Amino acid sequence: MGRAFEVRKNAMAKTAAAKTKVNSKYGKEIYVAAKNGGAELDTNLTLKRLIEKAKKDQVPAHVIDKAIEKAKGGAGEDYQPARYEGFGPGNCMVIIDCLTDNPNRTIKDVRLAFTKTNSKIGGPGTAAHSFDHQAVFAFEGDNDEEVLEALMMADVDVTDVEVEDGVVSVFAPHTEFFNVKTALGEAFPDVKLDVEEITFVPQTNVDIEGDDIPLFQKFMDMLNDSDDVQNIYHNAIVKG
Q: What is the pLDDT of residues 20-74, one digit of tens each?
A: 888 999 999 999 999 999 999 999 999 999 999 999 889 999 999 999 999 988 7
- pLDDT the model gives residue 22: 87
Evaluate if residue 162 carries a pLDDT over 90.
yes
Minimal CA–CA distance to 135: which of 193, 80, 78? 193
Span 4-31, average pLDDT: 68
Q: What is the pLDDT of residue 75?
A: 67
Q: Is the pLDDT of residue 134 over 60?
A: yes
Over range 178-191, report the average pLDDT.
96
pLDDT of residue 11: 46
Predicted pLDDT at 17: 45
CB neighbours of 216 closer than 8 A, spacing ≥ 6?
88, 89, 90, 92, 117, 208, 236, 238
pLDDT of residue 77: 75
Q: What is the pLDDT of residue 9?
A: 53
Q: What is the mean pLDDT of residues 155-160?
A: 95
